[in-house]
Chain A
Amino acid sequence: MLPVTYYVGLSAVLFAIGALGVLIRRNAIIIFMSIELMLNAANLAFVAFAREYGALSGQIFVFFVMTVAAAEVAVGLALIVAIFRTKQSIDVDQMSSLKG
């Protein structure tokens, strides 16, 4: 059985890729996918530790995260569709009307 370090390492790499994606990509869909990636990196860490310590709470927590992610997808995609309809674009750098 693979030691937990590997899982946590993979989780950290996934999280870093997600965070980087959020910060550097301009396409709203891609940013959205990167957020999903970060959430799933967290899920991986949860289940890895849950298996390591034999505690169910980590696994249960994963379900909560997935539920929240699903809800987030529903709201987020709807927002992106609405933005696209008005702006004909989903480039987040063009959405700067809140500039001070």
Chain B
Amino acid sequence: MLLSETISNTPNFFYLAPWVVFFPVIGLLINIIFGGRFSEKVIGTVASVASGLTFVVAALMVLSLRAHPEGATIPLAEWITIGELQLDWAFRVDTLSVTMMMVVGGVGTLIHIYAIGYMHEDVQYKKDPKRYRRFFVFFNLFIAAMMILVSGDNYLMLFIGWEGVGLCSFLLIGFWYEMDTLARPSTANAMAAKKAFVTNRVGDFGFLIAGMMMFWTFKSVQFDNVFLAAEHIAENQPGIILAITLFMLLGVAGKSAQIPLYVWLPDAMAGPTPVSALIHAATMVTAGVYLVARSAPLYSLVPQAQGVVALVGGATALFAATIAVGQYDIKKVLAYSTISQLGFMVAAVGMGAFVAGMFHLVTHAFFKALLFLSAGSVILGVERGHHHAAHKHHRRGDHHGEADFDPGDMRNMGGMRKTMPVTFWLYVIGALALAGIFPLAGFWSKDEILAEATALNFTVYILLAVAAFFTAFYMGRQIWMVFFGQPKHEAAGHAEESPLVITVPLMILAALSILGGALNLPGVHTFTEWLEHTFEAFEVHVHVGEFNIIVAITSTILALVAIGLSWLLYGRRTVSRDQPDPLKRILGPIFVGMENKWWIDELYWAVILNPYVALARFTADVIDGRFWHDWFHDKVIAGTYQWLSKTFLDAWFDQRGIDGFANGLAQAVKELAQRLRGIQTGFVRNYALSVFIGVVVILGYLILQ
């Protein structure tokens, strides 16, 4: 009783909502203006504090929401008024948006702190310390854009945040745009950034179409207006809602890396590891899931669209999981794992299990950020070991400098549980959480999705269950390859543990990965009740995820079997670069497919990109170059003008007209003078006679007048 009274007396902090955007903007402005004089530590601290303050604001929102669960809309400024369209720049505070704020602010802050240490070593390694400040400016900018995305009160604000995070993603993937991981000149990172950007444009095109159709149909893009009118529209024109939701799905596929637009995410791992963790695992890529959850009142009106979304998610989950099995790069495995897990979330929100999807979003943010950051710690450790080993060889005068040494290749690692024990334990926690082992966070959230799937869409359940099996397998494979066995390269043997600024945020994330499941334990349903306030406002039925013991046992057994299999294949022996992968001997061509990502990139090149490039060449060379430039411009326009000026203006108008007039005038004067010459006889008496006659005539005139 006392507790609930305290809660209802809690002051209302909703008016602080705009500060989730203001704080990171202030942080980045400070770093832009004064950062040149700051040391690395101050720059990192400013950025982290800015991010941390957004988390504080988000936490205050949680407190206020517990007292006033209906939430609030905080208008900041009038924005657009065109005809019937009236849009305000307003912040929407409800349980759904605040959940996202908590994840972005919380995980974001931890990754900011981690990045202080990580980027310090990274800029030293790449020998460009001045770029340190730029990284944190981009990072703060990302937080601001993500906060606009999740807190906007209408689809247009959401779209602006959506584009903003896309821009930050582009900038940060291409952060080392002119060099590769070993600071050699390379355009690979810039290419990866471009790929991400262009692929996302395809999805954004779908989102834009959806937004325009929405405006056309509802005359508004404000959430409440759209959702309230949706039911009426759905009765009269169900096709329009279906089209809107499907176009929106294209946007979701772009941002949340679903089939067919997932190809950019693995390449996006070219960015520094904190970027992979924050943007390409924990927050930005979940924007698509948030969009579907936010649009729940629309999706729940069209079961066909829900089916498509769920199927896309399920197929992506399984497809990406198979690719992850065949990868050797530590971050690539995690990238495909992220795509797969995003598939789980999209499938969940697609089926209508919005709470389960959001729950998995939150727990995945914890353990995937943990995994990425630990992987970054591993890579740094290997780099330190490589540096150490190279130094030793140098002293011995032994120059076998391996120019192509890849610090992220798992075939160079092994035995690192001894050299990096803290990172090892953190990694294991993240991997077990991802694999869905009881009682870690991933177990509860993944199981809720699977349990819902058995009831809602059994095809998707099968896809997801198989994907979960692969998930446990590739995580086991990774753990054995990286941390167990003998070091396959002396760099791994000499790896050193990372400093506290890197490991402490990881420990916090590990704790969250262990305890995150407590958010929504079966029977308690804290998270379900929390989100119900948002969904039920528009009569979206929230499934209370019934704990299904059969599903839970099945998936646990599958995960344990997968881990056991991975131990049989990878745990008992050391796999080096020279030998083929043990799985290849068993699966043969199937493994080659997994290894080569099922040749999807090659397929896109052959089917879309090559014809497109050829078309572009054709338009440039033939249409533009030869037709427009050479023929139309040079021949038709310039030629006609030249002809006109030569024959008409020059020969006719100028030479005949103007010259003719001037010459004719001169000729006339000349001829007149010729005639007048006769008068000038030279005889004095003639002149005298003329004078005489003149006098007579004048006098005669005067007299006779």
Contact = CB atoms under 8 A, between A and B. Distances in A.
Interface string A19-48: 100111010000100000000000000000
Contacts of B683: 92-93, 96, 99
A74 interface: no
B681 to A, nearest CB: 6
B684 A23 contact: no
Ordered nearest first, which 3 A-B pairs have the shortest CB separation?
A100-B680, A99-B682, A96-B682
Contacts of A97: 682
A26 to B, nearest CB: 7
Interface string B660-693: 0000000000000000111111111100110010
A95 interface: yes
B679 to A, nearest CB: 7
Interface residues of B, number: 13
Contacts of B692: 19, 22-23
Contact of B684 (A19, A24, A95, A100): A95
B43 to A, nearest CB: 99
A22 B682 CA distance: 16
28 contacts: A19-B692, A22-B685, A22-B688, A22-B692, A23-B685, A23-B688, A23-B689, A23-B692, A26-B685, A92-B684, A92-B685, A93-B683, A93-B684, A95-B684, A96-B681, A96-B682, A96-B683, A97-B682, A98-B680, A98-B682, A99-B681, A99-B682, A99-B683, A100-B677, A100-B679, A100-B680, A100-B681, A100-B682
Interface string A75-100: 00000000000000000110111111
A95 B684 CA distance: 8
Nearest to A19: B692
Interface in B688-705: 688-689, 692
B697 to A, nearest CB: 15
Given A19-B692, A23-B692, A93 B685 contact: yes
A31 B680 CA distance: 21
A96 to B, nearest CB: 3
Given A92-B683, A92-B684, A95-B684, A100 B678 contact: yes
- Most chain A beta-carbon neighbours within 10 Å: one of B680, B681, B685, B689: B685
Nearest to A25: B685
A18 to B, nearest CB: 11
B688 A99 contact: no
A25 to B, nearest CB: 8
Given A23-B685, A100-B677, 11 more contacts: A19-B692, A22-B692, A23-B692, A92-B683, A92-B685, A93-B684, A98-B682, A100-B676, A100-B679, A100-B680, A100-B681
A26 B683 CA distance: 10
A23 B683 CA distance: 11
A99 B680 contact: yes
Contacts of B677: 100
Interface residues of A, number: 14
- Most chain A beta-carbon neighbours within 10 Å: one of B677, B678, B684, B689: B684
- Most chain B beta-carbon neighbours within 10 Å: one of A31, A92, A98, A100: A100
Nearest to B684: A92
Contacts of B676: 100
A7 B236 CA distance: 133
A91 to B, nearest CB: 10
A75 to B, nearest CB: 16
A97 B677 CA distance: 13
Contacts of B682: 95-100
A54 B529 CA distance: 145
Nearest to B696: A19
Nearest to A92: B684
Nearest to A26: B685
Interface string B421-439: 0000000000000000000
A98 B682 CA distance: 5
Nearest to A97: B682
Contacts of A31: 684
A24 B689 CA distance: 9
B567 to A, nearest CB: 129
A55 B682 CA distance: 44
Contacts of A100: 676-682
B690 to A, nearest CB: 11
Contacts of A96: 681-683
A98 B678 CA distance: 12
A35 to B, nearest CB: 10
Nearest to B679: A100
B654 to A, nearest CB: 36
Contacts of B678: 100
A95 to B, nearest CB: 7
A80 to B, nearest CB: 12
A19 B691 CA distance: 11
A23 to B, nearest CB: 6
A97 B679 CA distance: 14
A22 B684 CA distance: 10
Contacts of A99: 680-683
Contacts of A23: 685, 688-689, 692
A97 B680 CA distance: 10
A60 B116 CA distance: 125
A31 B692 CA distance: 14
A66 to B, nearest CB: 22
A99 B680 CA distance: 5
Interface in B162-185: none
A97 to B, nearest CB: 7
A57 to B, nearest CB: 22
Contacts of A22: 685, 688, 692
Contacts of A93: 683-685
Contacts of A95: 682, 684
A96 B686 CA distance: 11
Nearest to A35: B688
A19 to B, nearest CB: 6
Contacts of B684: 31, 92-93, 95
A72 to B, nearest CB: 15
Nearest to A93: B683
Nearest to A22: B688
